[in-house]
Structure 1
Amino acid sequence: MHNQAVIRHIVGWLKDYTGKARAKGFIVGVSGGIDSAVVSALAARTGLPVLLLEMPIRQQPDQVSRAQAHIADLQQRFTNVSGMSVDLTPTFDTFAAGVEVDEHAFPNKQLALANARSRLRMLTLYYYGQLHGLLVTGTGNKIEDFGVGFFTKYGDGGVDISPIADLTKTQVYELAKELEIIESIQQAAPTDGLWDTERTDEEQMGASYPELEWAMSVYETHQPEDFSGREREVLEIYTRLHRAMQHKIQPIPVCKIPETLLG
């Protein structure tokens, strides 16, 4: 990949789209992870106003420290970048207490609460984005957004623009080096930060990003039965996740009423 050319292309695309949308700049939720770090660094290079918003919810200390260090680093390097931290833990705790249910009766309760965290952050991003005339800028990559659906519908999937959604995770890491993202973020294991305990993306999905990228490359032409061992297992994982995520990317089904019933 021609990293510098890709960077220039994305930065130009961001500037062009912002002009057409008549927006002032960008707001990015910064998590301490590689994707949000790369997106915010790209947005910073447009020269337009960029607001980096950290939104901890019962966050692991290492995630908080990485996010804060990244914000400080970009603010030092770019005068158009500003940062904010909004502690959403009290708000989330109030919500969680208000919707408390028996976990034995609802075994998917913790997943529902994890998705609620993401949707609360989306709400916060749009609130501050509207206040400042900024576009909510997505941080999803190609594998997450179009491969396995590793995002929350109307959570981190609720954005105005997606600058890195055509890049694999491996390619995002390549850009991170080129953009001189702080080393602690480049070395950190990917995690969505939606759980009280540390859960890496690989632990949740059952495969690493390079494995899923391989699966995505062969999905259209091969079946799991074409492979053996770990390759077969990974393609089975990818196939299951890809089929389950279609409701996240397909248009919302609309019930069409026959004209004969409307007349």
Structure 2
Amino acid sequence: MTQERDDIQKRIIDELAVRASIDPRQEIERRCEFLCERMIATGQHGLVLGISGGVDSTVAGRLAQMAVERARAKGVKARFYAQRLPYGEQPDEHEAQAAIDFIAPDEVLTTNIQPASDAMLDALEKGGLAFEDEHHRDFVLGNIKARQRMIAQYAVAGAKGALVVGTDQAAEAVMGFFTKHGDGACDLAPMTGLTKSQVRELGRVLEAPSELVEKTPTADLESLKPQLTDEDALGVSYAEIDRFLQGQAVGDESFRTIIEAYRRTAHKRELPATP
């Protein structure tokens, strides 16, 4: 049984391209160059990313700004568009603004997704969609919010000739903790293969504000559960997920939770199924 567990764990680690330890400075260089070169290779002239105030978008946003500055040094007219995408008023807006100040993007755009999200839910209900209860309704609205944010980012990308940058990292990938065609959609995923603790390592080296680097992660999609932490939603801590991804032993309950989530959300990490 132990060997079987080890084999499953190793296969997942390999599939998600996780390394037990990293040199954060080398990773910053490698991932910044990736963003720069892919943007140039595709003939685009900018990068777009939604900034929430969490460590993932803070780090990815700084990498994106560094990448377009590198492109400009090569003679390419490139810009980074940091997009604020609140649903009405965001409770931790001050932290989102702190992230913007740290990233120092070329341009900041703000789009309130509440009118579009609420209108879609209203149209669905008027069209006959019924929910089990208010919590079921709120969960569906949360996914609508995530997808509206991506609609907005791709609108900017289309208008500016840019690519959309994603923030998905290995800890979210293994749990399937993202909305399909929402925050899981992007053109470039520079954080791939990093554990949550490794993302924080990059943030510290980049000298991001400590309150953002160490901030308790929250997707904040469900209105009935404002500021619900990721760990409460997942049923396992990021520390345990990181230990699993770095090849270390975790408790039986954590192992089951991670494996079950990985299997249940396999469709999110795959291309559409075909006959």
Matched, 1:3 2:24: yes
* Of 19, 34, 40, the match for 2:61: 40
Contact 1:59/1:193 (8 A) holds in 2: no
1:200 aligned residue (219, 223, 229): 229
What residue is the counterpart of 2:137 in the other structure?
109
**Paired residue for 1:93?**
118
Matched, 1:233 2:247: no
Query: How big is the shift at 1:105?
Result: 5.9
Aligned residues: 240
* Equivalence for 1:223: none
For 1:218 and 1:8, locate their aligned partners in 2 and report how far apart those are by CA, in whole Å. 25
**Structure 2 contact 28–63 (Cα < 8 Å) conserved:** yes
Partner residue, 2:208: 181
Provide structure 2 residue ranges, at least 5 long, that are not aligned to the other structure.
Answer: 1-21, 70-77
Change (3 A) 1:33 1:105: closer
Q: For residue 98 of structure 1, report the CA deviation from its aligned partner.
A: 2.4
Q: CA-to-partner distance for each residue in 1:96-150, whole Å, 9 max, x for gaps?
A: 22223554368633222111110010100000111001100001111212x1110
Cα deviation for residue 95 of structure 1 reads 2.0
- Please give the residue correspondences for 1:212-227 in structure 2 after superposition, counting only pairs within 5 Å: 212-218=241-247
Q: Which has the higher contact order (CA 8 A, sep 6+)?
A: 2
- Aligned residue type for 1:30: I
Distance in 2 separating the partners of 1:153 and 1:249: 9
- Residues in 2 aligned to 1:43 and 1:21: alpha-carbon distance in whole angstroms: 16
In 1, the alpha carbon distance for the partners of 2:132 and 2:191 equals: 39
Note the C-alpha offset of 1:214.
2.1
Q: TM-score, normalised to structure 2's length?
A: 0.82
Once residues 160 and 18 of structure 1 are traced to their aligned partners in structure 2, the CA distance between those partners, rounded to angstroms, is 10
Out of 17, 21, 43, the position equivalent to 2:38 is 17
Match of 1:49 in 2: 79
Q: CA deviation at 1:10?
A: 0.9
Partners of 2:35 and 2:178 in 1: CA distance: 22
Partner Cα distance (1:59, 1:162) in 2: 28
Q: Aligned letter for 2:172?
A: E
Residue 263 of structure 2 corresponds to which residue in structure 1? 243
Instruction: Name the stretch that deviates more: 168-177 or 83-92.
Output: 83-92
Answer yes or no: is the 8 Å Cα contact 1:31–1:193 preserved in 2: no
* Preserved CA contact (<8 Å) 1:58 1:89: yes
1:130 aligns with 2:158: yes
Moved beyond 4 Å, runs of 4+? none
Q: Structure 2 CA distance, aligned partners of 1:106 and 1:44?
A: 41
Determine if contact 2:117/2:141 at 8 Å carries over to the other structure.
no
Q: Whole-Å Cα distance in 1 between the matches of residues 98 and 135 of structure 2? A: 37
The 2-side partners of 1:241 and 1:211 are apart by 14
Deviation at 1:201, TM superposition (A): 0.3
Identity of aligned residues (%): 28
Letter in 2 for 1:33: G
Q: TM-score, normalised by structure 1?
A: 0.85
> CA–CA distance in 1 between the matches of 2:219 and 2:102?
22
- CA deviations 1:143-184 (Å, max 9, x no partner) are 212x11100100011100100111111100000111111233
